[in-house]
Amino acid sequence: MEQSNELRELTLRFYKAMENADSTFFEDIFSQEEGVLVIGSDPAEWWAGHATIVRILKTQMEEMTGVKILDANPLAFSEGTVGWVSDQAKMKLPDVAEIPFRITGTFHQEDGEWKII
């Protein structure tokens, strides 16, 4: 296992895509293979499949206009074609106090590109 600056930077780009409501980034970063899954903090946030994940994230980003990610410092590691990240950061919405959040993600290299699985 080794630290992965590539996955760290990719996670920071993920945050920027959230801030910019860049749905194209989400279409590209999530695997289209069977088994891709997003699990949120709410029990209803269990989304399987590329199309479902992208649709829901796009809707969420449109509803969260003006979001900023603060204090991001992702830890990222990889071994072979598998990688993972974790972070504890804060989300700032307009007219809302900062909301701490944590995130974990698992990546797999597909055709030489890292994809969230």
Give CA 1 to chain center in angstroms: 21
Q: How far is CA 14 from CA 24, 95, 103, 114, in A?
A: 11, 23, 11, 12
Query: Any idea where the domains of the chain sit in the sequence?
Result: 2-116
Q: What are phi and psi of 23, to 5 degrees?
A: -65, -25
Task: Give pTM, 2 decimals.
Answer: 0.91
* d(C-alpha 35, C-alpha 50), whole Å: 9
Which pLDDT score is estimated for 46? Answer: 96
Residue (of 91, 90, 117) closest to 105 by Cα position:
117
* d(C-alpha 9, C-alpha 12), whole Å: 5
Number of H helices, E strands in the chain: 3, 8
The CATH code that applies to domain 2-116 is 3.10.450.50
List per-residue pLDDT tens for the chain, 117 residues long. 999 999 999 999 999 999 998 989 999 999 999 999 999 888 999 999 999 999 998 898 888 888 999 999 999 999 999 999 999 999 998 888 899 999 999 999 999 999 999
Looking at residue 66, the DSSP 8-state letter turns out to be T
Which pLDDT score is estimated for 95? Answer: 85
Place of tokens 């991001």: 72
